[in-house]
Structure 1
């Protein structure tokens, strides 16, 4: 869309609609955040126009153009990592308020709400260490993704403080989905020596890992203890219920909409970075040695 068309679209009156681009609404974490956004938009008298990009740059760009044609009053983005080329198009947006709800977009003209993933990784690992575990591994997220990098840094900090060795063969990469968690767990189980405790970088991969453990004839937490990340609603109903790092999803959605509406209404706010602090939810997927 040429800049002239964008400029014309921004000069009309407000439409009481907000656009939101999200990586995939099939992931429970994203679905729960979207639910919070929808609820608060409705309470504030705004319509939400949702675009599910499925991680595809072309799809994200198509939705972005459509939302501009519909003259949304503001834009929420929860799919910025891995799609940098698309979001260079934000230069088109002139004065359109934008709030980014994850890491990955470096711009001084958007608001950024991000999880303190370093702290989350630290809390997860410290919990396992406090239970007496020493042979601890990770099922990580994709290389280069900021949440995965920071969660690993938190893991390494906790291990270093406890003077425990980080074994590279016990660090397996995943893609934040069930299948990659299952495959990574199979790789760990096939090793001559395997960890007896794992920090898994999101709950979806933890679900896959638990399935692989059960299929191998082992049990959680008797044979392997697990801590996940996100605290999706399903985590409490797994067998056993999953200990996990809680991201305040309802608060994230409400805060994002609140900040976006403040920008839409012309409020001047200096701080563009908001960090949400995670906390540990203890259930039954870890045992004390």
Structure 2
């Protein structure tokens, strides 16, 4: 006796997702000709006839949104997620958190791709993505294929990711304007020896912010010294290690712009360990404006990415799609400079450059 033929059988043999087969069976036009032909061949092969109950179930909404992020314990991702979750609940949705965090980067990648595969099976009505592969300069083709499959299944909103081959919605921050404001502030404090700490080349936020620092300095006729780009990573340990590198330099910067606030906090911590002081020995600026910056001593000068609005706008964009509306393909969330206590005038008692 032949095994029962199901929608999963059709999807597997046609090489498409279950949701794509479901859309085909329900007469949706949102199925490519190539996939439509593949499905039709398998349907004819088995003389498949879906029952009415299955068709009705496929049309039901889950009122659930997927949210894929790399590390929910990181204040940037955690805050954005919490604000998105609040907004989703206001609109009658719940959020399924897909946290890909793992000590092994390879496992992180596998977990992210696994979540994409799972969500492609229409377990949620829409998906928000932040961090991970979408921030890479060179994105693996296999990953792009998986995300395209997800986009065929449900609406997708990416926060700050830029992948040319993906037709999805985006909510982005104006990082360059934030860096420009930060550089202008440091130059107004008579800093000309300005370094950049943290990040990783090949990751979009790092490349963009580093280039923005260079352009911002060039406007003032100041050249960026490549040896003042130190540290590799995005956490507190990155700042600790970077400060130790700076201490070994004969010619040191008088101020540094950090890839994010956690790195800035690491520098402040390390300075204390060496008996030095921020900002008296080194002016330090962060990026993101996570809640910890307000409680550090000194309080950290930073760029506010408006994480509250970032999370809420991602949900609003997704829900507009689900309600049949046509939101902007790209929504911009403005940044602003937050001046606190971690940067001082280079001519007013700062001594690190000659320490």
TM bucket (normalised to shorter chain) is over 0.9
Deviates more, 1:102-111 or 1:145-154: 102-111
2:120 pairs with 1:73: no
Aligned partners of 2:260, 2:163: CA distance in 1, in Å? Answer: 21
Residues 97, 264 of structure 1: 8 Å contact kept = yes
Deviation at 1:4, TM superposition (A): 4.1
Following superposition of structure 1 onto structure 2, how do residues 26-175 of structure 1 map, counting pairs within 5 Å?
26-54=73-101, 56-69=108-121, 71-79=123-131, 80-82=134-136, 84=140, 85-93=142-150, 94-175=152-233
> What is the TM-score normalised by the length of structure 1?
0.94
Aligned partners of 1:153, 1:90: CA distance in 2, in Å? Answer: 28
- Is there any run of 5+ residues in structure 1 with no aligned partner, and where? none
Distance 1:21 1:72, change over 3 A: same
**Structural RMSD (CA):** 1.8
> What is the TM-score normalised by the length of structure 2?
0.77
Matched residue of 1:134: which SS? coil
Aligned partners of 1:287, 1:169: CA distance in 2, in Å? Answer: 23
Matched residue of 2:287: which SS? strand
Residues 197, 256 of structure 2: 8 Å contact kept = yes
Following superposition of structure 1 onto structure 2, how do residues 113-262 of structure 1 map, counting pairs within 5 Å?
113-262=171-320
Distance 1:51 1:132, change over 3 A: same
- Residue aligning to 2:49: none
Matched residue of 1:150: which SS? helix
CA displacement 1:249-273 (0-9 Å, x = unmatched): 010011000000011112134x412
Deviation at 1:8, TM superposition (A): 4.6
**Rg comparison, structure with higher value:** 2
Matched residue of 1:229: which SS? coil
Deviation at 1:236, TM superposition (A): 0.5
**4+ runs of 1 displaced by more than 6 Å?**
none
Deviates more, 1:102-111 or 1:41-50: 102-111
Given candidates 260, 278, 285, the residue that maps to 2:335 is 278
Matched residue of 1:51: which SS? strand
2:67 pairs with 1:20: yes
Deviation at 1:173, TM superposition (A): 3.8
Deviation at 1:206, TM superposition (A): 0.7
- Is there any run of 5+ residues in structure 2 with no aligned partner, and where? 1-11, 24-57, 348-355
Aligned residue pairs, count: 288
Distance 1:212 1:264, change over 3 A: same
Distance 1:223 1:190, change over 3 A: same
Given candidates 15, 18, 27, the residue that maps to 1:5 is 18
Q: Which has the higher strand share?
A: 1
Aligned partners of 2:87, 2:204: CA distance in 1, in Å? Answer: 28
Residues 122, 154 of structure 1: 8 Å contact kept = yes
Distance 1:92 1:110, change over 3 A: same
Deviates more, 1:274-283 or 1:76-85: 76-85
